Amino acid sequence: MLLIAGTIGAGKSSLTDMLSQEMNSRPFYENVDDNEILPLFYSNPEKYTYLSQIFFLNKRFLAMKDALQQANNVLDRTIYEDSLLFHLNADLKRVSQDEVFQYDHLLDTMLKELEKVAPKKRPDLLIHINISFEVMLERIEKRGRDYEQISTNPELYEYYRLVNQRYQEWYDHFDLCPKIQLDGDRYDFVADPTAAEIVIAEIKEKMHQMSTLENGYPKYYSSNPLEKGIF
């Protein structure tokens, strides 16, 4: 199980797609493009933050529950990042203290439930795509989602800055599983095939360093050598 983490516009979905193809495994994507709730959050965060976060928390819980019961998978943003985003909005006074209490209690319940689903299974690697704030803004503008644009909502500038800042802090303290950080400024793997090869090679090397052999193959590798696999 590979977890893909990163700020808005980092390239999480693209890397999820690349890795799932390399592994011949199932990708779990964040629900964004067909999400009717997210534009509401951007239009009025004081009103819709709680609704938006509960929506995403539920989706991330169900994705993780499903993924834990499968052999190989790649997840585009996970339940482990959800608290980062919720508590940033809480610090911005977009939710009440009662909502914070209910959210934290629900998250704790969900994490305990995941322990019951697969008590001995943990994510194998967290892959954090680290990009600078300037690159983050460029990527957001380039992908062109109307509700994300600073040009139409200047207040988003400070929100994006805080999101980017907190992701680095979150990564520094993450200790659930091994982790690796990719330089998303230096390697634009979405646009540059050579950069894509480099980041895939970095991830392969990290996993080979971690792996233990089972039946002659690293535990992350398919037991069938004819099957396509990253490891």
User: Which CATH number fits the domain that encloses residue 12?
Assistant: 3.40.50.300
Task: Give the count of alpha carbons within 13 A of 57, CB side only.
Answer: 22
- Is residue 85 a part of any domain in this protein? yes
Element (H, E) at 168: helix 156-173
Task: List, for residues 108-151, the tens digit of each pLDDT value.
Answer: 999 999 999 887 788 999 999 999 999 999 999 998 899 999 99
Predicted pLDDT of residue 223: 36
Residues of the domain holding 110: 2-218
| Binding region | 6-14, 30, 42, 53, 77, 82, 139-143, 148
Q: Is 172 a catalytic residue?
A: no
Average pLDDT over residues 43-66: 94
- Is residue 136 a part of any domain in this protein? yes
Predicted pLDDT of residue 76: 94
| Binding region for ATP | 6-14, 139-143
- Is residue 229 a part of any domain in this protein? no
Predicted pLDDT of residue 33: 63
- Is residue 53 a part of any domain in this protein? yes
| Binding region for substrate | 30, 42, 53, 77, 82, 148
What is the C-alpha separation between 72 and 67, in angstroms, rounded? 8
- Is residue 47 a part of any domain in this protein? yes
Q: How many structural domains does the chain have?
A: 1
- Is residue 231 a part of any domain in this protein? no
Catalytic-labelled residue, pool 33, 34, 66, 76: 76
Q: Which of 70-74, 90-94, 205-209, 215-219 has the highest mean pLDDT?
A: 90-94
